Structure 1
Amino acid sequence: MTGGYARVTHALEILASRRPAAGEGAAAPIGPDRDIDEARLAKDHNGDIHLLVALPPGRTKFALPLGHVLPTTWLEEQDGSSEQFSLDVRSTDASLTPTFLSLVGEMLNRVDESGGACIDELMRVLSSWREALAREKRGLSRERAIGLFGELFVLSRLAKTDPARARSAWRGKEGYRHDFFLHNALEVKAYVTTDAPTVEIHGAHQLDPPMNASLHLLALRLEENAEGKTIDDLIGEIDSYGLPKGLLFERSTDEEPVIADNNMRFVVANERLFRVTDRFPGIRFSTLGEAAFEGVSHIRYSLLLDACPNAVDPSALPEVLKEL
């Protein structure tokens, strides 16, 4: 039997030549040998791709909330004198259609291996995909929360002494290469590992000092602790110091969201402060030159803190903030 992904590709080739009229659709069978019509790939008059999966006789329809990206409906079809239902799963976002088709191919391969009903294998595939996406989302949320906690930790310190200056120095979504900048710059990195401590550097400009100005790097090692503070706690502190929390959320973007979170509590277990000079390690635009970055994007690398020179006593941080 032809593999699931190959059957999906063949069905797409068939559908590519079809032009359904308004209110109609075209379908191509992709099911197993026992019943090739058990699963069908279809295209409606809008060009949206559908997966139609037959409900086995005697089975009851069920709800399957997949959201607006993959809306589902039950279709009632006539199979001779009997009533037949099929689950209609539609891909509404053309950019996600390749992913949707990959899901369909995986379902078909599972059916070929197990001999089970297409609809059962579809449920298993969707379940595994949802779990994978949920894990990824949790991981991204945690990573962002750690970085944001460090940024807000410093903003709180600055706002406590001078909220107006804190507002001007914190760059948020404004597109600056550093987290804090007025006359001089401070880049803040937070991390949770204890072995070979590293921080993530983004881009070729993040460790480049501003022109005719100094740059310091503050690395904060966080530990999760029930007695620690949440991001909401820090936001509340900053608001109480006269820097309205509304300002924080105004500076939120899809790429760098300011997220409210009451679940994770952190304490700052260790602070390391460095002055970034020409001797400091890292990938820098000023050192390598423009030609080195032609055709290069999304630079991200780990910086090993133990290998960094120019350490400054963390007690000097208030002075660094004063000199921003």
Structure 2
Amino acid sequence: MTASDRIWQAQLRAHWAVLSARRDTAGVATSGLGILVGDEAEILAGVDARGDHHLLVPAGGGALVVEDSQAAYIRIQRCVLTIGGRGRTFVDIVCHRADLSELFDDVISSMLTELATDSREQPAVVCKRVLDEWRELLRRRGGLLGEDALRGLFGELVVLERILAASDTYDLSVWHGPDREPHDFRLLGGDLEVKTLGMAGSMVRVHGIEQLEPPDKGDLHLIVVRLVADHDGLALPDLVERIRPKTNDRRAFAAALARAGYSETDAEHYRDRRFMIAQVAALPIGDDFPRIAPSSLVDTLPDEVSALSYNLDLSLLLPKALTDAAITPLFTKGTLS
């Protein structure tokens, strides 16, 4: 996400607040965004009687407006508004879901950044191309998250939020879980691997012999996040929405979530699964830690053995784990002194 995108996000929030206060049943309340296109007509922000947000880009010169209604939440359509007693045709990019307003701001900020630069493309073509790019970016791989995947992603986001809150040294680039790398987080002093447990569980699943192998430089800690189902707790979309403003690149955050199997357009599917974060604990992975790893093997695995995974019982280890404030240095530097 560019600096220009972030500037537009801030400006759009100000426009929506003013326009929402001005909206009525007569039509669309609009305000200019300071970008001229086509026949020197200004791009507008708009809020209609329902409260839906619109980006209105002058079509100009009778240009063809290619409408796009592939999704119910963000659409491109043709509209005609009467401005100064004259009917004007606009490319209307509209969001019909209030819960996706921040995502909509991200999408149209990207559009505005491109529309503000000199381009040979017609404004309508620019808008369609940017929307298609975002759709591809947000397209999750596979179906909706299952229970284990949902809890796993929830646990990683709990840790990501704490890392971002604990230190201004790190940004979203420390999170490697969505890319299926051996360790979920790579910090300056070492790596973190995250596992999620339920209320009374102690068994975690280890995937591959590299997952509990420390990096070449630095330490490895196993971070255990214990989640308890709670109707008044936090849903996965709530956690995503809480973290998004803290990231340095909201577009990259959306892309990472999509690689992890989560799309913000599916948020409503996950809102009934709510958790209380009962515990966050850290276990250092040393030579005496029970595991199957390259450094603990007498010889390499036979070529015929692949995709090895196993269960690890942490019941005797968790009482000795680091918890609460003792973990904070781990999130700031990646290692404990």
The two structures have a TM-score, normalised by structure 1, of 0.52
| Structure 1 counterpart of 2:333 | 323
Deviation at 1:143, TM superposition (A): 0.8
Counterpart CA distance in 2 for 1:224 and 1:208 is: 31
1:31-70, Cα deviation, whole Å (9 max, x unpaired): xxxxxxxxxxxxxxxxxxxxxxxxxxxxxxxxxxxxxxxx
Match of 2:200, as an amino acid? Answer: T
Which secondary structure does the structure 1 equivalent of 2:182 belong to?
coil
The counterpart of 2:192, out of the listed 179, 182, 186, is 186
TM-aligned CA distance change 1:235 to 1:252, over 3 Å = closer
Note closer, same or farther for the CA distance 1:295–1:308 as it changes in structure 2 (3 Å cut): farther
Larger radius of gyration: 1
The aligned runs of 1:1-324 (5 Å cut-off) are 141-162=146-167, 165-183=170-188, 184-195=190-201, 197-252=202-257, 256-259=260-263, 260=267, 261-288=270-297, 291-308=300-317, 311-324=321-334
Alpha-carbon offset, residue 289 of structure 1: 5.8
Q: The residue matched to 1:177 in structure 2 has which SS?
A: coil
Computed over aligned residues only, the root mean square deviation of the Cα atoms, in angstroms, reads 2.4
| Cα distance in 2, alignment partners of residues 234 and 298 from structure 1 | 31
Distance 2:226 2:178 in 1: 24
Over 3 Å counting, the alpha-carbon distance change for 1:164 and 1:239 in structure 2 is farther
Question: Is contact 2:247–2:253 with CA below 8 Å preserved after alignment?
Answer: no
Whole-Å Cα distance in 2 between the matches of residues 244 and 231 of structure 1?
19
User: 1:257 corresponds to which letter in structure 2?
Assistant: G
In structure 2, the CA distance between the partners of 1:292 and 1:198, relative to structure 1 (3 Å rule), is: same
Measured after TM superposition, the shift of residue 182 of structure 1 is 2.6
What SS is found at the alignment partner of 2:177? coil
Query: Is the CA contact 1:172–1:252 (under 8 Å) kept in the aligned structure 2?
Result: no
Q: Structure 2-normalised TM-score?
A: 0.50
Amino acid at match of 1:287: S
Deviation at 1:230, TM superposition (A): 1.0
Contact 1:199 1:219 (8 Å CA) reproduced = no
CA contact (8 A) 1:200 1:300 kept: yes
> Which residue identity does 2:262 align to in structure 1?
V
Contact 1:205 1:284 in 2 (8 A): yes
Instruction: Report the CA distance shift for 1:244/1:226 in structure 2 as closer, same or farther (over 3 A).
Output: farther
The percentage of counterpart residues that share the same residue type is 29
Unaligned runs of 5+ in 2: 1-142
Separation in structure 1 between the aligned mates of residue 234 and residue 218 of structure 2, nearest angstrom: 33
Change (3 A) 1:163 1:148: farther
Deviation at 1:246, TM superposition (A): 3.0
Q: Which residue of 2 aligns with 1:106?
A: none
Whole-Å Cα distance in 2 between the matches of residues 317 and 169 of structure 1? Answer: 17
The DSSP-based 3-state class of the residue aligned with 2:247 is coil
| Cα distance per residue 1:122-156 (max 9 Å; x no partner) | xxxxxxxxxxxxxxx88x61110000000001111
